[in-house]
Chains A and B, each alone.
Chain A
């Protein structure tokens, strides 16, 4: 908690993230390089899907990160509501764009896999529909933040909306168990262990780790930008106020004509 509260100082956060970012970026590039090599040159074609299974190596990490980003936003929202932590607000705000992007990738790559495998780009299946709802939630939260100023009240409203939307996350996860869906059931994180062959599981996990490192790097970069943006806004206001005061004082000093 001491370490967490010390990060409330943006200067400490900026200094720390400046050191961490090159490592995260490097780890992401290395993991993606290794992952893509394994996907395209080592992992076998699926006995049913053929080479189309290669889409899974980006679709599945994108789906995980789409949900992970929302969990980050939910944790940050608790930080806003309970501790009124300004960095939590910046984290909540900036994760929405990244979450929307990964959800978009998940939906598009899923459709591109679905057409050759299911014969259609889209079905109103429980998993697909709940994922689409997540995408709309992200867009709604982004729009909500754009209509509000950077006020504590605006941050609290966005945090409450994020917490309300969290109900979609377990629905996405368990939709394949609760309803009869065309989407296949969980095959990695499930009781009883993964059902995927290790020759496919390893490239998938490496791609997922690379995507996670990339997400974390981009999120830290976006939080840094948000800190700078608020600082610019505050300094601009101060500068304008000082200018007005100077102007008013100048007018008072003007001799009456």
Chain B
């Protein structure tokens, strides 16, 4: 697999992987933060189980 353009190929896959990872990590961290806030509100007595948006 010798090709003079492997740098471009590696960069393309690297940028794609990095973008997807950043998105995923951002979503997961946001989920964790929101779960924490909901738990805190529940603890403070504000936590009626709201089922509407």
Contact = CB atoms under 8 A, between A and B. Distances in A.
A235 B47 contact: yes
A112 B50 contact: no
Contact of A112 (B11, B24, B41): B11
Interface in A19-76: 45, 50-52, 54-55, 58-59, 62
Contact of B35 (A109, A113, A228, A238): A228
Contacts, number: 101
Interface in A78-129: 86-87, 89-90, 97-98, 101, 104-105, 108-109, 112-113, 115-116
B53 A45 contact: no
Interface residues of B, number: 34
Interface string B11-37: 111011001100110011011001101
Chain B interface SS verdict (over half): helix
A9 interface: yes
Chain A interface main SS type: helix
Nearest to A59: B12
Given A10-B51, A45-B3, A108-B12, A224 B31 contact: yes
A225 B27 contact: yes
Max count, chain A CB within 10 A of own CB: residue among B30, B37, B46, B48 = B46
B50 A235 contact: yes
Interface of B: 1, 3-6, 8-9, 11-13, 15-16, 19-20, 23-24, 27-28, 30-31, 34-35, 37-38, 41, 44-48, 50-53
